[in-house]
Every structure is written in C-alpha cells, then in structure tokens.
A and B are shown apart, each in its own frame.
Chain A
Amino acid sequence: DAKTTQPTSMDCAEGRAANLPCNHSTISGNEYVYWYRQIHSQGPQYIIHGLKNNETNEMASLIITEDRKSSTLILPHATLRDTAVYYCIVRVAPWNYGQNFVFGPGTRLSVLP
C-alpha cells in the first residue's frame, strides 16, 4: 500500500471549513483513498473514501487531484466535536478481503471556539 504524508497538526475556527491535505505521490491505479478520524480515547471512525472522483457524504467531502497524487478532506462547517486525529490511508481495491489498513500518525485537528 502507498505511503501517505500529512501535516502533524492544524487549527480551524469553529463554523469555518476545515481543509485537511494528504500527499500520496506513489499511489497506484487500483488504490483508494480512505479517511478515518479518532476522537480522543475512542476507536477510529470511518469518514469517506474515493478512487478518483470527488466524493461527498453527510460528514465530509473528499477532493482528489486529477493525477491522484494528493487529496483534501473538507469538513464544511467544523464544530468543537470535530477535534480529532484524522488519518489519510491509501490501499488496494476494497474487494480484496483481508487487506489491512496502515494507519500513520495522522493530522491532529483542533477546532477552536
């Protein structure tokens, strides 16, 4: 699975959009981009994933560049409850059972009042 690079930490004002970048320059054609987050002391929580098209769900939007070498997770209206560590992960196609996720150190997002 391709390696990812994320900033160690970021701040965001409450109510503003939080844009979390991720570089994955060695991503392969069959690898998806996944985003998870971990709120303090809890298990990681799935947010969104995509292959090459932009994706949106009730939690966030995922913007993937055309060359797929980087992506941005957007939380449109950050709240204090969005303070967490956010993990960007790339891995092979989701129908490969048993393929494991490699969780790096992630980005610590602090939403400030």
Chain B
Amino acid sequence: NAGVTQTPKFQVLKTGQSMTLQCAQDMNHNSMYWYRQDPGMGLRLIYYSASEGTTDKGEVPNGYNVSRLNKREFSLRLESAAPSQTSVYFCASSDSTNEQYFGPGTRLTVT
C-alpha cells in the first residue's frame, strides 16, 4: 500500500494563478482532510470530507475549494493564489478509529 500520496511535491505560483493539489489514499478510508502548516506553527485544518460526497469547512477555508472526487481522491483548489497561501499542505485520511494517516506534503510558494 502506498498510503496517502500527494502531487505535486513542490509548486511555485504567481499571485492570481490557480492550481489544484491532488491527494489519493489506498486504505479504503471514509474521511479525508486538508491541512496547512506555516513555519513554526502547528497544522490548521482547511477542509475535510467525512465521507464520499460530503465536504465541510475547517478552521481556515477562505481562498480554497475542495472536491471529494470519489472515496480515494480529495483535491484542494486555489482559484486565485495569494502570497498568504505560501505554506506546506498536508492531506490526511482516517478510518473508523479516526487515527489519521498523512501524506508527504506539498510545498507551495506564491510570489
């Protein structure tokens, strides 16, 4: 099992550009999550999907949209990137015990 995979690993955007971060899990988990982590800080939840077909806002959803494409995939979209969105983005999934498994992260820089 690959666990949780994320693409791309690194990305540089100009202000105003858009992009989609991809996440996939092969553990048959119901719930998936997107977090961001800024230097020296803990993780903050952006959006989560409790099950296929549902999505909900987390702590910092402004400027982002998500799509739970199917049970395996959960994507995060930045419609108009801003420098404040420079961060490391982590995707996670969880099973019935809610133990979360994290991907390796995407390092995004917005100039």
- Chain A residues with CB under 8 Å of chain B are 34, 36, 41-46, 49, 87, 91, 94-106
Contact = CB atoms under 8 A, between A and B. Distances in A.
Given A44-B43, A102-B45, 7 more contacts: A36-B100, A42-B104, A44-B100, A46-B101, A97-B98, A101-B45, A103-B44
Given A43-B90, A43-B103, A44-B90, A95 B98 contact: yes
7 contacts: A44-B102, A45-B102, A46-B99, A98-B54, A103-B44, A104-B42, A105-B40
Contacts of B50: 97-98
A94 B41 contact: no
Interface residues of B, number: 31
Contacts of B51: 97-98
- Main SS at interface, chain A: loop
A43 B98 contact: no
Contacts of B43: 44, 101, 103
A96 B56 CA distance: 14
Interface in B82-107: 90, 92, 96-105
Contacts of A43: 4, 90, 92, 102-105
Nearest to A42: B104
